[in-house]
Structure 1
Amino acid sequence: MDGILAINKPRGMTSHDVVFKLRKILKTKKIGHTGTLDPEVNGVLPICVGRATRVSDYMMDSGKTYIAEITLGTQTTTEDQTGEVIATNLIEENQFSTTEIDDALNQLIGEIEQIPPMFSAVKVNGRKLYEYAREGKVIDRPSRKVQIYSITRTTEPKYHDGKVTFEIIVQCGKGTYIRTLSTQIAEVLQTVGHMSKLTRTESGGFTLEQSYTLEALQTMPHESIQSILHPLEKGLTHLPHHEVDEQTAQRIMWGQKIKGIIPPLTGETVMTHNNKALAIYMPHSEYDNVIKARKVFTD
C-alpha cells in the first residue's frame, strides 16, 4: 500500500496516536505523518504510506491554512487554552473597533520574526523546549523568520467576562506558530492574549474536505482505502517540475549527475518522466550547469 492520505485528526489525540491506529487499519508499519498537530488542535494531518514516506519532509515545507480563535485579556504559559494564566488585562466592552483589530492583523502579514514557545518541540542545546518547560525552566530561544501570507478576521469581536474573542483565517509558511502569532496580535493591540482554539484546514496541498476520519477508514474495505490514496506526486506540487526524455530518465533513476539541463535548475526540482516523479535534483555546488540527486524515488 503506497500513497498519501489526509486524516481529519480529532481533538484530544496526538499525531503519533493517529499513526499508531492507521498502522492497524492499513496493516502496514511504513507510515509517517507530515508534521505534528498538538493534541488539542484538530484538522488536516497528511499521512504518507509506503514509498510516499520519502516525500514527507517536502510536504512539511508547504504552506498551511488555519482557523484560529483569539482571546484577548489573558496570557497563558503555553500561549494557548491548555496553559496556566500568567497575566490578565481587563478588556472593556467595545474597547477595540473592528478597524483597530484588522489593522493589527495587517501589521503581521509578510515576513515576521517569532520566538518559539517554551512548550514546543524545538530543540535548544540538544533538548526539546518543552522538556525545559516541564522542569520550570525558561531559557533563551533564537528567533526565526516565518512567512504570513494572509490574516483575515472572520467573526465579529465577542466581549465576555473581561475578555474579547474573535476568529481569524491564517495562511502561512512552514514553522509558523499560530499560538505565538496570537500573542503577537495581542501585543500590537497593547494587551495580552492567547490562542483559544485552532483547526488546520489545509496542509500539504490537502484540504479538510479531502480528509477522512479514522472512524470512516475503519469501516472501509482494504481495497477501497487503496483507491483513495493519492500518489506521492501529490505531495510535491509546491515544488518546480522538470520533464525529461527516456534516456535522461534512466540516468536519473540511477541517481547520476546530469549536465546541460535546459532551462537550468535554480533550486530543488522534481524530475519527471511521463508526469511520474523520479527524483528531486538540485544544482551542483561545485560544477556549473550540472545537477545532482537530492532524493531518488524509484526502487
Structure 2
Amino acid sequence: MESGIIPLYKQKGMTSHDCVVKIRKLFKTKKVGHTGTLDPDVEGVLPICIGRATKIAEYITDLPKQYEAEITLGYATTTEDASGDIIDKKQVMPCPDENNIKKTLQSFQGRQQQIPPLYSAVKVQGKKLYEYARAGLEVERPVKDIEIYELVFKGNTLVQHEDTVSFRFIVTCSKGTYVRTLCTDIGRSLGFPAHMSELTRTRSGPFTCEEAIKLEEIENRLQEGSGSSVIYPMAKGLAHLPRVEVDEQTKAKILNGRVLPADKQMKEKMFLFVSADELLAVYQQHPTKEGLIKPKTMLRTI
C-alpha cells in the first residue's frame, strides 16, 4: 500500500475520528491517523496520514494552522460557539467601526496565554474538560501558551443585525489555539459578549484548501483506479525540516539508529536525513550529550 498524506477537506457533521474510520475502510488499512482535531461543526483542511506516514503525523500537527472565522457580537454561549446555550446577552449599540475592530484584532497578535473552553477535549486529571462540564462539575482549567502569528479583518464582512453584529477574520496561529476562545476574548475587548458563529480551517502546515479533497471525490478516484492521485508524498509533510543528504556510509549508520556527531552547521532542533530522495530518519539534538544527534523517528529500516 502506498504511504503518504491525504489533504482531506473535512465537511461539517463529521468528527476527525469519523474521517479516519472512513479512510481506513476506503484504503483497506488500519494505519491511518489525522493531524489535529476539528470539531464536528467546523470544516476545512484535515491532513490524514496513511501507511508509514502515520510516523510523521506529529510533525504536521505541530505546524501553524490558518482559519477563517466569523465572530458574532451580542451574546456568549456555554461552548463559545453557536451550538451552546446563551449565558450572556447585550445589544450591540453602538456598532463598532472597522478601524476599531482592526485595532482590536491587531492587539491579539503575538505570544500569549489562553484558557481552553469548558467544552473541549483538553484533559485534566485523566478526564476531558467537556466531561466535567456535562456533569456540572467545576474544575481548574490549565493555561496554555499559544502564538497568534497574524490576525486580520476580512473586508466587507461587517454585518449589523437587529441585536447583534458579525464580521469575519483570518487568523494564523500555533497548534493548540482555540479560535472559539479567541472570539470571546475579542468580543470582550470590544465591550460585548461574543461567540464564534462559523469556522473553516484554510491551511494546516503546508496543505491548503485549494488542494484539499472531499471524501466523495476520494471514493470516485478509487473507483476509477486512481486512488494514489490523492496521496501526497511524506516529504511534503516534512518540508519545514532542514534536509541533509548523506553518503552510503552515513546512511548505513542512520539505518542502524546510531548516534551521530552533529555538524557545526546543525544548529536546528531537528533534521531530516535523506539519501537520493529516500527519507531515512528525523534526528534531533541529543538531550544530554552536547555535540551529538540521535534518531527521533525512523522512516526507513533495514
- For the aligned pair, the TM-score class normalised by the smaller chain equals over 0.9
Cα shift at 1:240 = 2.5
Matching residue's letter, 1:175: G
Q: Secondary structure at the match of 2:210?
A: helix
Q: Output the CA distance in 2 between the equivalents of 1:5 and 1:153.
A: 30
Instruction: Indicate conservation of the 8 Å contact 1:64/1:204, yes or no.
Output: yes
- Report sequence identity in percent: 44
Aligned pair partner of 2:249 in 247, 250, 255? 247
Deviations 1:21-74 (A, max 9, x none): 111211212111111100000010100000000000111001111010000111
Task: Tell me which residue corresponds to 2:176.
Answer: 175
Task: Tell me which residue corresponds to 2:96.
Answer: 96
Task: Tell me which residue corresponds to 2:153.
Answer: 153
Q: Secondary structure at the match of 2:221?
A: coil
Task: Tell me which residue corresponds to 1:119.
Answer: 119
Which range moves more in the overlay, 168-177 or 273-282?
A: 273-282
State yes or no: 1:17 paired with 2:9: no
Runs of 4+ with deviation above 3 angstroms: none
Task: Tell me which residue corresponds to 1:59.
Answer: 60
Matching residue's letter, 2:91: L
User: Normalized against structure 2, the TM-score is what?
Assistant: 0.95
Instruction: Indicate conservation of the 8 Å contact 2:68/2:202, yes or no.
Output: yes
Task: Tell me which residue corresponds to 2:134.
Answer: 134
Instruction: Indicate conservation of the 8 Å contact 1:264/1:289, yes or no.
Output: no
Instruction: Indicate conservation of the 8 Å contact 2:109/2:150, yes or no.
Output: yes
Q: Output the CA distance in 1 between the equivalents of 2:19 and 2:41.
A: 13
Q: Output the CA distance in 2 between the equivalents of 1:29 and 1:74.
A: 43
Instruction: Indicate conservation of the 8 Å contact 1:278/1:298, yes or no.
Output: yes
Cα shift at 1:125 = 1.1
Deviations 1:145-177 (A, max 9, x none): 111011111133211121100011111111110
State yes or no: 1:43 paired with 2:44: yes
Q: Output the CA distance in 2 between the equivalents of 1:118 and 1:243.
A: 47
Matching residue's letter, 2:124: V
Q: Secondary structure at the match of 1:182?
A: helix
Instruction: Indicate conservation of the 8 Å contact 1:118/1:138, yes or no.
Output: no
Which range moves more in the overlay, 168-177 or 259-268?
A: 259-268
Q: Secondary structure at the match of 1:142?
A: coil
Aligned 1:180-219 pairs, distance under 5 A: 180-219=181-220
Cα shift at 1:207 = 0.6
Task: Tell me which residue corresponds to 2:9.
Answer: 8
Q: Secondary structure at the match of 1:79?
A: coil
Matching residue's letter, 1:121: A
**How many aligned residue pairs are there?**
298
Instruction: Indicate conservation of the 8 Å contact 1:98/1:156, yes or no.
Output: no
Task: Tell me which residue corresponds to 1:30.
Answer: 31
Which range moves more in the overlay, 213-222 or 200-209?
A: 213-222
Which range moves more in the overlay, 265-274 or 136-145?
A: 265-274
Q: Output the CA distance in 2 between the equivalents of 1:63 and 1:280.
A: 19
Aligned pair partner of 1:259 in 258, 261, 277? 261
Q: Output the CA distance in 2 between the equivalents of 1:221 and 1:184.
A: 44
Task: State the superposition RMSD in angstroms.
Answer: 1.4
Task: Tell me which residue corresponds to 1:78.
Answer: 79
Matching residue's letter, 2:245: E
Q: 1:229 to 1:178 in 2, by over 3 A?
A: same
Q: Secondary structure at the match of 1:81?
A: coil
Task: Tell me which residue corresponds to 1:69.
Answer: 70
Q: Output the CA distance in 2 between the equivalents of 1:22 and 1:285.
A: 37
Deviations 1:94-141 (A, max 9, x none): 521111111110000011210011111111111111110110123111
Cα shift at 1:81 = 0.6
